[in-house]
Each structure stands twice: as structure tokens, then as C-alpha cells.
């Protein structure tokens, strides 16, 4: 692994240099946060030395989860979507090690790597280098990549990366915030991989939306409607957010529609709360 600098708060990677940047541009944005004690940096070697290891799990046929234990920074786990024509890695964790690379190689390698939004770009360049894979970034958010790479390919709207595996730009949290529609997921009923473009809530029975999770800033009605409209053409029974749990295991499309309507009622002050 390289000696790239890793922001200890969001785990985005920055180019190798003798000293780290003065600040992390991702955390300085209002959608993220800088610790009250100031910017902190680490490296992959330091994280490994502190005991962090990759955690690889099969979540369902054709889908591997790859996270870190103990959790690193925001703590998202990657999802590897496997197809007969190649694999896609989604929302890469900020931590990567040889065990994670070995697991992906054994699962068939990597055609491309991408993410739901800039907070989850994480180790995206490390993965690209390990497999000579494309980095797929929405044109609207490509400037947020903190470690330049010649492997970047931009897209907008929708992009079928592999047969039955489609990137869908939803906007909202970031202009380029996206999801993956995986047609073969949930036993062929379809699955949506959402990162935090759409949040699955702890009871695994509804979803919600935010402009900033740590700063508790809601998403405006127009953006909520745009997210729902972007995925309406696709069939999906299951929804995976950005972490191991929660997972919306059934009726995901129906739940998305009803949750969006309820969210908008609160935004408008029309919700009954007693």
C-alpha cells in the first residue's frame, strides 16, 4: 500500500508528500465536520499498526461486503457487485489492506470502482491501482477527488457499468450523489445500493434523506422528489445503505415512496405528530 495521507475524520486519501495538507477540503465543507481539536491525519500503515484489519463478508449471492474492524472514520463498508462480465466496487472504505485485495482477486477482480458521494471516495485510488480499474465519478462531483488519478472517467445521468448494474445520479446530498441499481440482487427482484443518498433507518422499515447527517441539516422537498423520481424506473425489493446495518430487506421501492411522502409532510409542517 502507498504512503498517502488519510484524513482521520472522513478517511479520504491525499497524495504522498513529506507533510500532510493543512486541512481536508471534504471535512471543511458544511456537510462534514472538522474535530474541535483540529485536523488530524494518519496513513494506511499507521491504521494497520493500530490493529485495523479488513472484514469481508458475503451478504447474498453475488454481493460481498468489505469493511474495516475496528471501524475507520465514517465507517462505511464497500460492496462488491459480482457479474459474469466483471465486478464493481461501490463506496470503498478508507481502509484497504492485502487481505481485502486478495478477497477481491479471488472473487474475480475489479472492472471499476465508484462511490455514492465524495465522503465515501476513501481508498478509491488504491483500489484502482491494485486492479488497473476505472474510477467512475459523476461529472458534477469529480472535483472533490482529493487524490488525482489518470484512471478517472466521468459520467452523468445514468451509466450501465456492467450488464444489470447501473449507476443512477439522484442528486440531493451532493449534486452527483448516486445509487447503484443491481437487477440480479435480492434473488432477481432487484436491489438498490444507496450509500447515504438514501438512508435506511434503524428499524429497517423506512428510509430518510439529509443534506448533512453530522450537522443535522435536512434535504429540501425538491431534492427529495428528485431522488425518488431518479430511481422510479427501476425495480428493487431490497436496499443496502452505507454500513453493515441496517438493511431494508423487503418492499424497498414501496417504503421509499411512503417515506418520502412522510418526510415532505414534516418539511411542510403538515405532519400530525400527536
Enumerate the domain spans of the chain.
5-268
Report, at the CATH architecture level, how domain 5-268 is classified: 4-Layer Sandwich (3.60)
pLDDT per residue as tens digits for the range 137-180:
999 999 999 999 999 999 999 999 999 999 999 999 999 999 99
Q: What residues contact 110, with CB distance under 8 A and at least 6 apart?
A: 80, 86, 87, 88, 89, 104, 127, 130, 131, 133
pLDDT band at 10 (very low <50, low <70, confident <90, very high): very high
Q: Is the pLDDT of residue 30 over 90?
A: yes
What is the pLDDT confidence band of residue 2, given thresholds at 50, 70 and 90?
A: confident
From residue 147, alpha-carbon distances to 15, 32, 175, 196 in Å are: 5, 18, 20, 22
Query: To 5 degrees, how large is the angle CA 230–CA 163–CA 182?
Result: 50
CB 90 within 8 A of CB 107: no
As a residue count, the chain comes to 274
Q: Say if CB 209 and CB 257 are below 8 A apart.
A: no
Q: What is the mean pLDDT of residues 10-37?
A: 96
| Residue found by looking up cell 441496517 in the block | 246
Q: What is the pTM of this model?
A: 0.96
Residues with Cβ < 8 Å from 26, sequence gap 6 or more? 7, 10, 12, 32, 118, 119, 121, 144, 146
Q: How far is CA 58 from the centre of its chain?
A: 18
Amino acid at each position: 500500500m502507498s504512503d498517502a495521507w488519510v484524513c482521520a475524520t472522513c478517511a479520504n486519501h491525499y497524495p504522498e508528500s513529506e507533510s500532510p495538507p493543512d486541512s481536508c477540503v471534504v471535512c471543511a465543507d458544511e456537510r462534514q465536520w472538522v474535530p474541535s481539536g483540529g485536523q488530524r491525519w494518519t496513513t494506511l500503515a499507521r491504521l494497520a499498526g493500530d490493529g485495523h484489519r479488513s472484514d469481508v463478508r458475503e451478504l447474498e449471492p453475488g454481493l460481498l461486503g468489505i469493511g474495516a474492524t475496528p471501524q475507520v472514520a465514517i465507517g462505511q463498508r464497500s460492496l462488491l457487485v459480482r457479474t459474469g462480465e466483471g465486478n464493481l466496487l461501490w463506496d470503498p472504505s478508507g481502509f484497504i489492506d492485502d487481505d481485502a485485495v486478495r478477497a477481491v482477486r479471488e472473487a474475480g477482480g475489479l472492472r471499476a470502482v465508484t462511490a455514492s458521494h465524495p465522503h465515501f471516495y476513501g481508498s478509491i485510488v488504491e483500489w484502482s491501482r491494485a486492479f488497473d480499474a476505472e474510477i467512475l465519478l459523476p461529472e458534477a462531483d469529480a472535483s472533490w477527488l482529493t487524490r488525482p488519478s489518470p484512471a478517472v472517467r466521468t459520467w452523468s445521468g445514468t451509466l450501465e457499468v456492467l450488464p444489470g448494474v447501473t449507476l443512477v445520479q439522484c442528486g440531493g446530498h451532493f449534486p452527483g450523489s448516486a445509487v447503484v441499481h443491481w437487477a440480479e440482487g435480492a434473488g432477481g427482484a432487484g436491489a438498490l445500493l444507496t450509500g447515504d443518498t438514501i438512508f435506511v433507518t434503524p428499524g429497517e422499515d423506512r428510509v430518510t434523506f439529509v443534506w448533512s447527517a453530522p450537522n443535522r441539516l435536512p434535504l429540501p422537498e425538491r431534492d427529495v422528489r428528485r431522488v425518488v423520481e431518479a430511481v422510479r424506473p427501476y425495480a428493487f425489493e431490497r436496499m443496502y445503505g452505507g454500513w453493515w446495518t441496517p438493511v431494508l430487506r423487503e418492499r424497498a421501492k414501496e417504503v421509499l415512496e411512503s417515506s418520502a411522502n412522510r418526510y415532505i409532510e414534516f418539511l411542510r409542517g403538515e405532519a400530525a405528530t400527536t
